[in-house]
């Protein structure tokens, strides 16, 4: 069974034309070659791949310091290629699901954001309405787990001791995320056992058998399964959806054959994805790499996943997707403005436009570069997800980069692990030199209601003007924006903004700040993100002004120290990459802090 719907790409103001770049994929027979690389790896082993002789081996595999291939990134496409044993895999999933149907009412996904962030997308798109409720836990901060547990209790109408008996914990992480994931596993095991529930019986891990995560879970008596149904979990690095075991288990209540068929793009559809890659590459080269993503209502829940899929591999160095914008023309600088950094990606299902036709006409008339991807009316979300994977590979290939490695994530993880390990000897992260440098910096300006502005990572010579913290923050931001150094912003909160009521109010406060200060006043795109766990999308683009928001009260113990270590690591990683980062600290993740943040951004906008 194959998805036969057409995928159409319409480009407006594709200047200079990207057609010659798109043609290279056919001329170089890229699709046939990557299938050949994957086939050779499967038949003869990774040692048969020679990165010296093959450009595509260098573009899609992980290579160690000795020049040996250690992971085949092309294998993530394999489940949707001709000859894949899809029917057999779907039967396997259905058999696994039948073992816990009727017994499991809640599923908690634990681990690396890049491996579990597809679940919120499925939920937001209405695909998880049947069966268990799904929750995501990618931070060891106690407030996050407390909010998840309260949500489980409310939905099941049972106290924790009873609710946890019908809760399945699925652990998924790559090797980079394994250390912080194991902290989560330890914390949750204690929580389950505190309520009289045996953790090993309710936990399952999805990881390569040789990984440190798998070894640790096995030692705890936790069952370990391959993330990939063809037992090649090493291929399932970040965003390996839509045909991993984790995705198919989550989607057990939908029409799985139709879902799998949607992921099977034919050659014409794959080349359409690569035409989009060429357009995005050309726009980024022209300085228009801030891409506003607009999606139809039925797919809008997958916007964050789409951003993650692009930026996990590309690190925002050339293209940065911006979500959540209302598409107001008044928020954009003129298309011909030398500082204009915007292009647009509109995704539509036939009969369901991403924006009103009048608004699209205005964007085209104003001269903005616009790419419109039109999916068939019956196209499942899996078709878009697989389309994105090919577009990501195509963009990396055009840039001469490797789409199978994530150096940004590796840098963050290495710094965070170093700080955390040091904290074990020092007696906590707050006693480490890294935290003391942050805490004792003189480049701070206090504001009311517990908000403090920290700019110690700003380049030398940058001073905060203004009368107070809000105007100082706005002054620094405007300096870089006026100089053309900043092309967009991101507000990143280190805490829960998904489950806790106070956290949701903090999100609203940040979203209003993004709209008022960045979009309305400065005509800059701005993202709002929850990043309790370090990953590559927190490493904003070279022209991105990143603001990290940290509650002082994170609790105590290994979980809180892990979050603090990740917070410090993001700052250090951004500074190493010569990127702009400042910090706002608040007392805690309360409604009072949400109100204080909203007043702060309102005052900052007014000062401009």
Sign of CA dihedral 384, 385, 389, 395: positive
Decide if pLDDT at 207 tops 90. Answer: no
The angle at the Cα of 105, spanning 104 to 110, to the nearest 5 degrees, equals 80
Q: What are phi and psi of 6, to 5 degrees?
A: -80, 145
Which pLDDT band holds residue 240 (cuts at 50, 70, 90)? low
Q: Is the pTM of this model over 0.95?
A: no
The pLDDT value recorded for residue 326 is 75
Of how many residues is the chain composed?
608
Decide if pLDDT at 580 tops 50. Answer: yes
The average pLDDT across 249-263 equals: 88
The pLDDT value recorded for residue 538 is 45
Which pLDDT band holds residue 356 (cuts at 50, 70, 90)? confident
The pLDDT value recorded for residue 536 is 43
The average pLDDT across 142-170 equals: 91
* Domains assigned to the chain: 8-80+264-398 (3.40.50), 86-262 (3.40.50.10490), 407-607 (3.40.50)
Q: Which residue has the tokens 């070659």?
A: 33
| CA-wise closest residue to 428 among 329, 244, 565, 241 | 565
Task: Share the mean pLDDT of the chain.
Answer: 87
The average pLDDT across 197-218 equals: 88
In terms of C-beta density within 10 A (0-12 exposed, 13-18 middle, 19 or more buried), how is residue 153 classed? middle
Instruction: Measure the CA–CA gap between 293 and 300, rounded to whole angstroms.
Output: 10
The pLDDT value recorded for residue 406 is 67
Decide if pLDDT at 480 tops 50. Answer: yes
Q: Which residue has the tokens 């917070």?
A: 567
Instruction: Measure the CA–CA gap between 50 and 52, rounded to whole angstroms.
Output: 5
Decide if pLDDT at 315 tops 70. Answer: no
The pLDDT value recorded for residue 533 is 42
The pLDDT value recorded for residue 2 is 45
Which of 149-158, 283-292, 558-567 has the largest mean confidence?
A: 149-158
The pLDDT value recorded for residue 534 is 39
Instruction: Measure the CA–CA gap between 20 and 29, rounded to whole angstroms.
Output: 15
| CA-wise closest residue to 77 among 52, 96, 56 | 56
The average pLDDT across 581-596 equals: 95
Decide if pLDDT at 410 tops 80. Answer: no
The pLDDT value recorded for residue 496 is 87
Q: What are phi and psi of 423, to 5 degrees?
A: -65, -30
The pLDDT value recorded for residue 330 is 79
Which pLDDT band holds residue 454 (cuts at 50, 70, 90)? very high
Termini Cα distance of the chain? 58
The pLDDT value recorded for residue 303 is 92
Which of 24-28, 39-43, 46-50 has the largest mean confidence?
A: 24-28
Which pLDDT band holds residue 12 (cuts at 50, 70, 90)? very high
DSSP state of 351: T
The average pLDDT across 60-87 equals: 85
Decide if pLDDT at 388 tops 90. Answer: yes
Decide if pLDDT at 414 tops 80. Answer: yes
For residue 496, what are its two tokens?
Answer: 């829960």
Decide if pLDDT at 274 tops 60. Answer: yes
Say if CB 243 and CB 80 are below 8 A apart.
yes
The pLDDT value recorded for residue 541 is 58
- Provide, rounded to the nearest whole percent, the portion of the chain with pLDDT above 90: 44
Beta-strand pair 452-454/290-294: unpaired
The pLDDT value recorded for residue 594 is 96
The average pLDDT across 569-589 equals: 90
- Provide, rounded to the nearest whole percent, the portion of the chain with pLDDT above 70: 94
Phi/psi-derived region of residue 272, left when phi > 0, alpha when psi is between -120 and 50, beta in every other case: alpha
**503-544 tens-digit pLDDT:** 999 999 999 999 999 999 998 888 898 874 434 444 555 678
| CA-wise closest residue to 362 among 396, 386, 341, 332 | 332
């Amino acid at each position: 069974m194959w998805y036969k719907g057409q995928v159409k790409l319409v480009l407006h103001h594709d200047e200079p034309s990207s057609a010659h770049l798109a043609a290279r994929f056919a001329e170089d027979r890229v699709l046939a070659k990557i299938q050949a690389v994957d086939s050779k790896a499967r038949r003869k082993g990774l040692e048969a791949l020679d990165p010296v002789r093959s450009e595509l081996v260098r573009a899609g595999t992980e290579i160690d310091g000795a020049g040996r291939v250690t992971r085949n990134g092309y294998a993530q496409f394999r489940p949707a290629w001709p000859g894949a044993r899809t029917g057999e895999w779907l039967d396997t999933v259905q058999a696994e699901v039948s073992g816990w149907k009727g017994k499991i009412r809640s599923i908690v996904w634990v681990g690396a954001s890049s491996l579990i962030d597809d679940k919120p997308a499925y939920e937001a798109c209405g695909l998880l309405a049947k069966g268990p409720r799904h929750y995501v836990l990618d931070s060891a901060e106690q407030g996050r787990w407390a909010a998840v547990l309260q949500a489980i209790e409310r939905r099941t109408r049972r106290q924790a001791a009873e609710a946890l008996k019908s809760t399945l914990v699925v652990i998924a992480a790559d090797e980079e995320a394994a250390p912080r994931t194991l902290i989560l596993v330890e914390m949750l095991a204690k929580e389950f056992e505190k309520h009289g529930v045996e953790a090993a019986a309710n936990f399952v891990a999805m990881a390569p058998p040789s990984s440190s995560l798998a070894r640790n879970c096995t030692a705890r008596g936790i069952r370990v399964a391959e993330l990939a149904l063809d037992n090649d979990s090493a291929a399932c690095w970040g965003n390996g959806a839509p045909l991993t075991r984790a995705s198919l288990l989550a989607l057990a209540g939908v029409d799985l054959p139709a879902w799998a068929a949607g992921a099977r793009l034919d050659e014409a559809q794959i080349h359409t994805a690569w035409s989009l890659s060429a357009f995005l590459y050309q726009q980024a080269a022209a300085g228009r790499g801030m891409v506003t993503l607009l999606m139809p209502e039925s797919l809008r829940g997958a916007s964050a996943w789409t951003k993650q899929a692009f930026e996990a591999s590309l690190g925002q160095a050339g293209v940065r997707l911006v979500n959540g914008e209302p598409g107001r023309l008044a928020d954009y600088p003129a298309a011909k403005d030398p500082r204009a950094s915007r292009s647009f990606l509109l995704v539509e299902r036939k009969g369901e436009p991403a924006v009103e036709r009048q608004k699209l006409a205005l964007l085209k008339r104003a001269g903005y570069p616009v790419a419109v991807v039109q999916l068939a009316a019956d196209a499942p979300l899996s078709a878009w997800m697989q389309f994105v994977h090919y577009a990501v590979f195509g963009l990396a290939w055009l840039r001469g980069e490797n789409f199978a490695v994530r150096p940004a994530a590796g840098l963050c993880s290495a710094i965070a692990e170093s700080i955390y390990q040091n904290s074990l000897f020092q007696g906590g992260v707050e006693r480490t030199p890294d935290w003391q440098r942050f805490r004792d910096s003189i480049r701070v300006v206090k504001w009311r209601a517990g908000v403090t502005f920290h700019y110690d990572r700003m380049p030398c010579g940058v001073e905060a003007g203004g009368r107070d913290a809000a105007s100082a923050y706005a002054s620094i931001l405007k300096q870089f924006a006026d100089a053309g150094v900043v092309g967009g912003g991101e507000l990143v909160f280190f805490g829960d903004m998904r489950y806790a009521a106070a956290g949701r109010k903090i999100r609203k406060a940040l979203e209003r700040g993004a709209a008022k200060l960045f979009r309305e006043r400065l005509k800059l795109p701005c993202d709002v993100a929850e990043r309790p766990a370090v990953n590559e999308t927190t490493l904003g683009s070279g022209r991105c002004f990143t603001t990290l928001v940290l509650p002082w009260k994170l609790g105590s113990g290994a979980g809180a120290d892990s979050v603090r270590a990740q917070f410090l690591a993001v700052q250090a990683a951004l500074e190493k990459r010569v990127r702009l980062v400042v910090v706002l600290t608040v007392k805690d993740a309360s409604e009072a802090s949400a109100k204080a943040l909203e007043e702060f951004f309102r005052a900052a906008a007014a000062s401009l």
